Amino acid sequence: MIDLLARQSCCLSAQEISERLGESGRSVGLASVYRALELLHELALVQRVDLGDGNTRYEPIQPGGEHHHHAVCDRCGRVTAFEDRSLETALERLAGRLHHSISAHEVVIHGNCERCSERA
Amino acid sequence: MIDLLARQSCCLSAQEISERLGESGRSVGLASVYRALELLHELALVQRVDLGDGNTRYEPIQPGGEHHHHAVCDRCGRVTAFEDRSLETALERLAGRLHHSISAHEVVIHGNCERCSERA
DNA sequence: GCGGTAGTGAGATCGATTCTCAAATAATGG
DNA sequence: CCATTATTTGAGAATCGATCTCACTACCGC
């Protein structure tokens, strides 16, 4: 399961992880998936991602520190990943000013994806 | 209920809204609260805020456009609001580059709040 | 093998959200 | 006013993701 997660570039829900593991032979119960994810989260190896659809997703934290954020299409639900250096810079600068340590941050954008914008 | 929400500066969960309405005399069922929130959300008068604790919160959208984001303490759960102009600027610039329209955005920071950092 | 320990997962449970439906309320038209 | 029809309401049921429980398995050292 660690392998599966590590191979993902973007976020997966616990259900998806369980399903994919089942498809590839090694069936794993949901409870174990959640247990593993909790552990990995404590070890700072995966990040929780909450896109507001009621499902918590998880994605691996890149050792290099690079990471992306997510844009959710409110029409079709598609999730698009993006990265933006100036956004990160702004967040880093913010860290100095804030009376709050920052161990993780998450930016979620809502709107319409390219495809849905065209036929708006 | 509209009044109550409008008076709030920061986010409230549906439960909190129902409770507060009850305390101030006008008891309102949870179902109605959710219904109203859904409507207000469609009208772009309230924004959904998801801080990753399994509760969706809602907060009024300021007509002027100004808004804040949230820092969650992973230790005590306290939610701190903050605003940051350069963060907004970065997001505005991003809007031009992204193949995705932006109708709303949300930034959630995780870490330890001032109080919890001190006794870390 | 045997006792002990840790890991597993099916199913129970929990809690937030959504759905349902009958009752309450408001709007309409005599 | 009263009757009739739409609309809104909210208690409780249903749903669904996440968590918890616990009997069961797997593994380890002796």
Q: For residue A56, which of B80, B50, B105 has the smallest C-alpha distance?
A: B50
- Considering only the top CATH level, what class is A1-61? mainly alpha
pLDDT number for residue A66? 86
CA of A119 to C1' of D3 (A): 49
As a whole-number percent, the residues of chain B with pLDDT over 70 amount to: 97
B1-62 has CATH 1.10.10.10 classification: yes
Taking a C-beta distance cutoff of 8 angstroms, is the pair A20, A3 a contact?
no
Tens digits of residue pLDDT in A8-55? 778 999 999 999 998 888 889 999 999 999 999 999 999 999 999 989
Tens digits of residue pLDDT in B48-92? 999 999 899 999 998 888 889 999 999 999 999 999 999 999 999
CATH topology for B68-120 is Dna Ligase; domain 1 (3.30.1490)
Taking a C-beta distance cutoff of 8 angstroms, is the pair A22, A16 a contact?
no
All residues at 6 or more sequence positions from B32 whose CB lies less than 8 Å from its CB, including other chains: B1
Taking a C-beta distance cutoff of 8 angstroms, is the pair B55, B37 a contact?
no
Please tell me the number of Cα atoms within 13 Å of B6 on its side-chain side.
6
All residues at 6 or more sequence positions from B58 whose CB lies less than 8 Å from its CB, including other chains: B5, B11, B12, B13, B14, B17, B37, B40, B41, B46, B47, B48, B49
Q: Is the CB of B29 under 7 A from strand D?
A: yes
Q: Is the CB of B38 under 7 A from strand C?
A: yes
Give CA–CA dist A84/A68, Å, rounded: 8
Taking a C-beta distance cutoff of 8 angstroms, is the pair A81, A74 a contact?
no
Sketch the domain layout of chain A as residue ranges. 1-61, 68-120
Q: Give chain B positions within 8 Å (CB) of A86.
A: 90, 93-94
